[in-house]
Amino acid sequence: MLSALTLDPDIRGVSLNPTDVVQNIIRILRTEFPVLLDIDLQPTTTLLSSGLLDSFAMVTLLASLEQGYAINVDADTLDVMLFETPESIASIVLDAKYHSKG
């Protein structure tokens, strides 16, 4: 289930610095998936190949990213491997933000 706020209201839309986005992704991961609370998540922590996330988690995470960052991502053309690390997930957000028409 999606949390009510995936990002703090004062964070939403403010910083698109890649480092800040990665840290926000890590916060979202911990909020949406409590099983990750005890994991030392780093920007390069593997999520898919390690089994920490599965395809259902990716759908939930994508919905959180779209809501929290006010982006639209075409899931049909999205490379699944972009969900491998918090750093690569941040690239989804940054790409969607910089290529949006808004």
Q: Is the pLDDT of residue 5 over 60?
A: no
What residues contact 48, with CB distance under 8 A and at least 6 apart? 54, 58, 80, 81, 83, 84
Q: Note whether residue 67 is domain-resident.
A: yes
Confidence of residue 9 (pLDDT cuts 50, 70, 90): very low
- Mean pLDDT within 80-99: 94
Q: Is the pLDDT of residue 101 over 70?
A: no
pTM of the model: 0.82
Number of independent structural domains in the chain? 1
Supply the CATH number for residue 50's domain: 1.10.1200.10
Q: What is the pLDDT of residues 54-74, one digit of tens each?
A: 999 999 999 999 999 999 998
Q: Note whether residue 12 is domain-resident.
A: no
Structural domain span for residue 34: 18-98
Alpha-carbon gap, residue 33 to 18, rounded angstroms: 22
